[in-house]
Chain A
Amino acid sequence: MEQVKSFYETPSPAGLTGIKAWLLTHDHKRLALMYLWAVFFWLVLAVFLGMALRLELMFIGETIMGPEVYNSFFTLHGVIMIFLFVIPAIPAIFGNFFLPIQIGADDVFFPRLNLFSWYLYMIGGLVAVISLFTGDGFADTGWTFYVPFSVSTETNVSLTVTAAFILGMSSLLTGLNFVTTIHRMRGKGMGWLQIPLFTWSLYATAWVQILATPVISITLVLVVIERFLNIGLFDPARGGDPLLYQHLFWMYSHPAVYIMILPAMGIISEIIPVFSRKAIFGYKGIIISSMAIAVAGSLVWAHHMYTSGMSDVSVFVFSLLTFLVAIPTAVKVFSWISTMYKGSILMTPPLLMALIFIYLFSVGGLTGLVLGAAGTDIHVHDTTFVVAHFHFVMFGGTGFAFFAGLHYWWPKMFGLMYNFKRAYISAVLAAIGFIFHYIPMFILGLQGMPRRYFDYLPQFETGNFLAGFGGILMVAGILLMFINLWVSFRVRETATADPWGGTTLEWSVPSPPPLHNFVNEPEVLEYPYDFSGVLARAAKDKG
């Protein structure tokens, strides 16, 4: 491929040099990388908070922190992980970087709005930090801010909630930008059925972001209003109904879990066909299932509230709808597996991480059905079983998909290749640690250990010790992974434009891409996962 300047090397216009070239940029690629570093920061911080929680729980009684600190820590861990990592990570980093390239566009539709979203993200994070050090300490409510406690507690809930509100705005505007981009900026020949699956998953996600985020915004506004004016909208003594808060909260926050998982599924749908050298099984099926998850996922919020005192009819209806979500999800999992069947598998770190995703995500999904069934849920509600379930989905799922995407697109984003051996070791270490960490929590939950408790009965000590031990392994694995990626900046082993043999448009441009993404008019394949060209090239190289 001819030599072209990458977007790093293209000189910035006068007045926009140095740090300004980043802080005032409208380029989606630079913004993606700015998100990347910010997200890294929050992820590492929240991982260490989580680790501190598990270290505290490793032994009975007070180990390294007191109960108040513990409450603030798990709230902080939840708020950071949800609002600053899982929700924004994949859309804001990989979505910003690759969505325009995958559809043959030179940027997103509203580049300035994109920059604004980044600032909202940073301000939201900053407000969260400020709330740590002002007032009476960080919120101790858990990330769900349930009333009446969130209204009556002395801690700094208002500021924490404001942070979540601003971060919600950021996520909403990103979604708005993506929908408009996909509708209006597709390149020549890029019909709806030529769009790669990652972009499709972002499309589904963006709609959920647009439809659901305003509900959390108003809910959080109401919490702040209640704290300042004490109206009593959720106070039963004054006519309010606390259950309504939970409805409003989950009306966003359940769809939000699909904001978290859909882009992850998109990454896996990209990686599996590339390393199987085979067209994805059920391209349309995966698209339809993405949209079906977006729709059905918006109708299941009250399955968080089986024990809150809803009517039996609601419990029944929401339980049924919850089971329905499992169908499109299973369609995806089976499609990925069918893609690999009789493919010519090329093992690489991204594929290994994608496989770990499928395994961990399936465990998380199936235990989700245990929780979705009203009867069993009553037994395990608010126990560590729930904690283990959503960590399997959110971390084993989205987290590992994030790692997979990072390793898949790293050579494209930076033009550098990392060390494979260390990547394998770190992924396996993290996965083993993960299993040791969360499987005991399933068992503890079934035995009745409640979540969010600072201390526990003696019979739970073995399980908690094992979980803490697994946590240490897992954190070690993640750190090794990040160090390995960091080392690639030192070693500087350059990557080719298409190190994996991909078919989507980002692999047709140099690594890292030039400022306007494409050197020549992009050639859109009739079918986005047609590997005949890749295979022919490979055969020619062999001779």
Chain B
Amino acid sequence: METAIDKTGVKIGMWIFLYSEIILFGGLFVLYAVYFHTFPEDFAEGGKELNRIFGTANTLVLLISSFTVAASITAVQRRKKGQAIGFLIFSLLCGLAFLVNKYFEWGAKFHHDLYPNSDLLLDSEPGFNIFFGLYYTITGLHGLHVIIGMVLLSISLGLVIRDKVTDQRYAMLENSGLYWHLVDLIWIYVFPLFYLVL
């Protein structure tokens, strides 16, 4: 039925989907904005609890992985299959590193009795509780997106290995890459909001 694949159309579809993901997080950023306006002091207090080193490390990991994903697409276009596979595996490892890092970061918070519904948060200032509520909701949902992105990248990796993704037909890889950039992009906003500005 379809003789030639309309690449522009596929991209339009993907970009619209990415846009909807941004709106999804937009709802959470709206909550952040309103509560930040209501409780600026408590938010500053909460921000001090977060570890900038963890945050910066994760930002770097994501930025680098975004680059390697883009590089893998270029490699596929240049028919360098080995390189593309290498870049993709590296990106997946970066994703894994992000999650491990997040695990330790959350673990440290749990250790300090800072988790939803903990005694400390129940007794603290309302704004402090809201700050950590938002922290867990936003970073948790972002973490979920990291996992989805990794699944997509793994599928693309499998397709590259099995020669289903070639320099003629790489929409799946490109779209997974776009999704990965989205995960990165959202983090670029999450990072300063929680770790830097407070």
Contacts and interface: CB of A to CB of B under 8 A. Distances in A.
B130 A240 contact: yes
B20 A213 contact: yes
B54 interface: no
A229 B20 contact: no
A215 B137 contact: no
Interface SS of chain B: helix
Contacts of B137: 222, 225, 231, 233
A232 B39 CA distance: 15
Contacts of A177: 13
B23 A106 contact: no
Interface string A224-247: 010001111100011111001001
A231 B24 contact: no
A20 interface: no
B27 A180 contact: no
A137 interface: no
Given A210-B20, A214-B24, A217-B24, A184 B117 contact: no
Contacts of B12: 179-180, 183-184
B21 A184 contact: no
Given A176-B16, A184-B8, A248 B27 contact: yes
Interface in B13-72: 13, 16-17, 19-21, 23-28, 30-31, 34-35, 38-39, 42
A231 B31 contact: no
Contact of B133 (A113, A211, A233, A237): A233
Interface residues of B, number: 38
A325 B152 CA distance: 42
A374 interface: no
Contacts of A247: 30
A239 B28 contact: no
A177 B25 CA distance: 22
Contacts of A248: 27, 30-31
Contact of B116 (A109, A230, A241): A230
B100 interface: no
Nearest to B6: A184
Nearest to B24: A214
A337 interface: no
Interface in A471-506: none
Contacts of B129: 231-232, 238-239
A172 interface: yes
B141 interface: yes
B197 interface: no
A247 B27 CA distance: 10
Residue of A185, A217, A219, A516 with most chain B CB atoms under a 10 A cut-off: A217
Contact of B19 (A113, A210, A241): A210
B20 A214 contact: yes
Given A106-B1, A109-B9, A231 B16 contact: no
Given A109-B9, A176-B16, A180-B12, A218 B117 contact: no
A225 B134 CA distance: 11
Given A231-B117, A233-B134, A241 B34 contact: yes
24 contacts: A107-B1, A109-B9, A172-B20, A179-B12, A184-B8, A184-B9, A185-B6, A210-B19, A210-B20, A211-B20, A214-B24, A215-B24, A229-B136, A231-B129, A233-B133, A237-B126, A238-B122, A238-B130, A239-B126, A239-B127, A241-B38, A244-B30, A247-B30, A248-B30
Nearest 10 A/B pairs, CB to CB: A239-B126, A231-B133, A218-B27, A184-B9, A214-B23, A214-B24, A239-B130, A229-B116, A180-B13, A214-B20
Given A213-B20, A214-B26, 4 more contacts: A176-B16, A218-B25, A238-B129, A516-B1
Interface of A: 106-107, 109-110, 113, 172, 176-177, 179-180, 183-185, 210-211, 213-215, 217-219, 221-222, 225, 229-233, 237-241, 244, 247-248, 251, 516
